[in-house]
Amino acid sequence: MPARPQRRRRRRRRRLLPLPHALRRRRSPRRLQQRRRDRRRRLLRLPQRIRTGLLSPAPTQTLQEQTPPLRQRPAGAFLLLGAYGSIRPSTQEPKMDLDTRIAQFENMCREDPDNDMAHFSLGNAYNQAMRFDDAAAAYRRCFEANPAMSKAYQLCGAALMAANRTDEAAEVLTEGYKAAAERGDRMPQTAMKELLEKLDAPIPEVKVKEAPAGAGGSFVCQRTGRPGSQLPRPPFKGPIGEWIQANISKETFDGWIAQGTKVINELRLDLSRDNDEAMYDAHMREYLGITDELYKELTGEDPPASATA
């Protein structure tokens, strides 16, 4: 009797349940590390793209306006944005009209009469428009609201001299010279001394402010003339950051961090805009004593904006 052929048993396929994506395809540790590095790099690049306007270009601009010649962004504004050493070239937007700036600061002063930074910026705008009497009045309101603004005394005296009001200029400069000496603001004090000498006015005798207890070391701040601690590294890349490390003490630079925050808040600056960022950077140079001549000597270029122009 022939053998019966054996029937092949059909194997029942098991139904697989859907698995998460991470379990379907296991990646090597090296590949996971590379993906993490790529993601971290994209996250770090995102704020830079937002600041340079790559994510949201203005719809009203033409193609030529959206792609003007590149320039270096002011270095100081990146400090509060947390972008140490990541300065990149960006597009430069058109400068705000001078009359528009004056109207903007006048509105700010009317809304907040005690806003010393608004009065200071209004005086700068008046000074640029050759309206020296109005500039002197704005600077006077600035140091009346904040007597610690030694620079406002200096600029007020200079504006009064330009308006041929020499007697008032001598009074303001004498008062400002004493205030700067008490605070240890060496650069405004030296500038007011030179202006008093041009007016043939006597230089007031003041006591040199002694360094606070605990302040020592061989490093001397070029702005205050007092000993302090040197910055461990430049606050940002470039010749300006290197000059700050070599000449400005940590105590003075910490003072600028607080003052810079006040500048942003009281002037309502948007650091993603080139005009506001340049204004912030100009205030930093004014505070640290970086003149336009020194800026050009260090960088070989004219400053993008001046707080006293």
**Rounded Cα gap, residues 122 and 136, in angstroms:** 10
| Tokens describing residue 127 | 């000074």
pLDDT of residue 271: 81
pTM of the predicted model, to two decimals? 0.57
Residue 126: per-residue pLDDT = 92
Homologous superfamily assigned to 99-299: Tetratricopeptide repeat domain (1.25.40.10)
Q: pLDDT band at 121, cuts 50/70/90?
A: confident
Residue the block writes with tokens 């994506």: 21
Which structure tokens are listed for 33? 């590390």
| Res 293 pLDDT > 90 | no
pLDDT for residue 80 is more than 80: no
Spatial distance between the Cα atoms of 74 and 88, rounded to a whole number of angstroms: 10
Consecutive H or E run containing 72: strand 71-72
81 falls in which pLDDT band (50, 70, 90)? Answer: very low
* Confidence (pLDDT) at 44: 65
Quick check: 271 and 90 in contact, CB under 8 A?
A: no
Q: What is the pLDDT of residue 176?
A: 92
What residue has token string 């606050």?
235
pLDDT band at residue 45 under the 50/70/90 scheme: low
Tokens (6 digits) for 254: 């910490």
Cα 198 from Cα 206, distance rounded (Å):
20
Q: What is the mean pLDDT of residues 122-143?
A: 92
pLDDT of 70 above 60: no
How far is it, in rounded angstroms, from Cα 188 to Cα 16?
79
- Indicate the pLDDT class of residue 58, thresholds 50, 70 and 90: very low
